[in-house]
Amino acid sequence: MRTRRKAFSTAKVVAALLLIVIVMGVIYAGNHFFRLQGQREQEDKENAMVGSLVAAMEAGDVDGDEYKNMVSFFKGFKKEASFDYKRKYENLYVENDFNFKEPQEKTCYLTFDDGPDNYVTPQVLDTLKKYNVKATFFTIYNGSEQGTELYKRIVREGHTIAAHTYTHDYTKVYESVDSYLDDFDKISSHIEKTTGVKPEIFRFPGGSINYFNASLYRQISGEMIRRGYVYYDWNISAEDAVRAGVSAADITRYALSGDSSMQKKIVLMHDGPGHRNTAEALPGIIEGLAKQGYKFAPLTKEVMPVVFS
């Protein structure tokens, strides 16, 4: 009899413990469910804001105050957001009040992608120095001794040094948001380590909308904006990368195209390997734009972006 009573008591204890475990499990599961639900609602709200901002940028219908409000909203999700890439690369944030201005007089922003190249970039810099023109260099990785000096020279001579891409391998860069951030972190870190300047503006390889990033460009753009960065496309292309061996005369003609009454021109050129004709064309481009009434300035995070739609 005592054995049966003892067994019965033990069974009640086990049953009670099991009930407690089940109740605790239900409570945990409920809390987890509501926490995930809250995260999803935050993500949906943020994605809607990102989409609205990027769409407004594409339409040219956004001002500095709108940027400030939206970026302030994005920053609230730095720690709470559940997308893994939002927790990575804590150094990839820059302070930015997104206080954009349009130029008060006709201004041309000469920009060079894919350098520094050990042969082409020195020629470009020599010409810019001769004409006392400041430009913007969207750089890739060059680990050579001469390349290191060129990064430093760009900064030393008053130009804007900006990030383009570390590898320039579109398939890798645009594989995912994570892969884009990984590449950007490498080139940003290299520029800062080499020059002491942390780049605050950047240009997407291939521009903000292209074949390789068609399914990701809004997500990547929104994430970079959330982190305080500004990206720039262009409204004039010198067409020096459409094919190999574009002549200096054609590069000059394309760079001088477009309505000469445009208040702001952001001209795309390249100073990477194989672009000697761009360096040769540069004096004529500067002189031609000056005749059209343009002054020259480097891009900074205060310049209202030109972005593709």
For residues 62 and 55, give the distance between their C-alpha atoms in angstroms, rounded to a whole number: 9
**Is-contact 184 202, C-beta < 8 A?**
yes
For residues 60 and 309, give the distance between their C-alpha atoms in angstroms, rounded to a whole number: 9
Told to judge if 270 belongs to the known catalytic residues of this protein, a careful annotator would answer yes
Q: Which of 113, 114, 117, 183 is catalytic?
A: 113
Four-CA torsion 77, 80, 81, 83, nearest 10 degrees: 140
Region of 64 please: left (phi>0), alpha (psi -120 to 50) or beta. Answer: alpha
Go through the chain and tell me how many residues it has. Answer: 309
Beta bridge partners of 107: 264, 295
Told to judge if 182 belongs to the known catalytic residues of this protein, a careful annotator would answer no
The string over 274-289, giving b where at least 16 C-beta atoms fall within 10 Å of a residue's C-beta and e elsewhere, is: ebebbbbbbebbbebb
For residues 219 and 204, give the distance between their C-alpha atoms in angstroms, rounded to a whole number: 13
Gyration radius of the chain's alpha carbons: 27
By three-state DSSP, how is residue 204 classified?
coil
First to last CA, the chain: 85
Cis amide leading into 116 (omega within 30): yes
DSSP string, 137-149: EEE----SHHHHH
Q: Which of 159, 164, 190, 270 is catalytic?
A: 270
Instruction: Kindly list the catalytic residues.
Output: 113, 270
